[in-house]
Amino acid sequence: MADSTRDIGKNGEDLAAAYLESKGWLIIDRNYFFERAEVDIVATDHHAIVFVEVKARSDTFFGRPEEHITPAKETNIKKAAEAWIYERKMETAFVRFDVVSIVQKGNEAPDITHFEDAFR
């Protein structure tokens, strides 16, 4: 039986967090919600607070995962990021928005692509 979309997404977020940690990043928060807006991962690369959108798919039949980030999704991520920063009184922090795209077909090793500064 195929994994549900939710399972694929959760597994993708776990893979992305482990990938970022392997690069020496510190994961600060995960699945932060503000109203209906969400940020998958909040991390620091020791230079910036990085808000990371994770897109995971089990195949590329409908395109690469990163191709499914719409302008509306970007707006929601920015809204959640602004709330996260405001709540923590970090308005002067340098902020960046990255995307981690993951394709994992069955039991194959995941194909992870990291897009730094993916949108502003």
pLDDT at 8: 78
Report the length, in residues, of the chain. 120
Count the alpha carbons within 13 Å of 3 in the hemisphere toward its beta carbon.
16
Spelled out in words, what is the top-level CATH class assigned to the domain 5-119? alpha beta
φ, ψ at 11 (rounded to 5°): -60, -40
pLDDT at 3: 67
Is the Cβ–Cβ distance between 118 and 71 less than 8 Å? Answer: no
What is the pairing mode between strands 37-44 and 49-57?
A: antiparallel
What is the pairing mode between strands 37-44 and 26-34?
A: antiparallel
Name the E strands within the chain: 26-34, 37-44, 49-57, 95-103, 111-119
pTM equals 0.93
10 Å Cβ neighbour count for 91? 9
pLDDT at 7: 79
Per-residue pLDDT of the chain (120 residues; tens, 9 = 90+): 356 777 778 899 999 999 999 999 999 999 999 999 999 999 999 899 999 999 999 888 899 999 999 999 999 999 999 999 999 999 899 999 999 999 988 888 999 999 999 998
Is the Cβ–Cβ distance between 80 and 34 less than 8 Å? Answer: yes
pLDDT at 10: 86
Amino acid identity of residue 44, one-letter, is T
